[in-house]
Amino acid sequence: LKPWARSVEKLVRSYGGDPSRILDCCRCAIIFQSTSLLFGCLETIIHDPDIEVVRIRNRMDLGYDGAETAGFRNVTLNLRFRTEQARKLGVDGHICELQLSLVAFTKSLNAVSHRRYHILRNCRQSLSG
């Protein structure tokens, strides 16, 4: 789960106080050995009738500017589950985030690189706001 302090920060800084725009409170990742496995999984998810894909951010695309994420690349999906069980539990409207990543990128992450990303993100938001 996204820490509540980051959710509030994102709400104020990026979303003009609109909580419906926070789509990654609940998130998880699947890490793959190869791009072919990653994109095979993506294809399976896209064609699953029990899943509604709300948004895809393809940071693996060659046209993507890696400066936005300090060089990190992945595919991020925001999705809803459209099953009878999800309806019974009252979570069929809930949007969660699924990050599809490669082992090579994931291994490069550490506390220092993640802190650098936070600094970059905060500077970028300060300049645009």
Instruction: Give pLDDT tens digits along the chain (129 positions).
Output: 667 777 677 777 777 888 777 776 688 999 999 999 999 999 999 999 999 999 999 999 989 887 777 677 899 999 999 999 999 998 888 899 999 999 988 887 766 666 676 666 667 667 765
Round to whole Å and give the CA distance between 51 and 46: 7
Q: Is 77 helix (H, G, I), strand (E, B) or coil?
A: strand
Rounded to two decimals, the pTM is 0.74
Residue 69's CB is within 10 A of a number of other CB atoms, namely: 17
The structure tokens listed for 106 are 């994931």
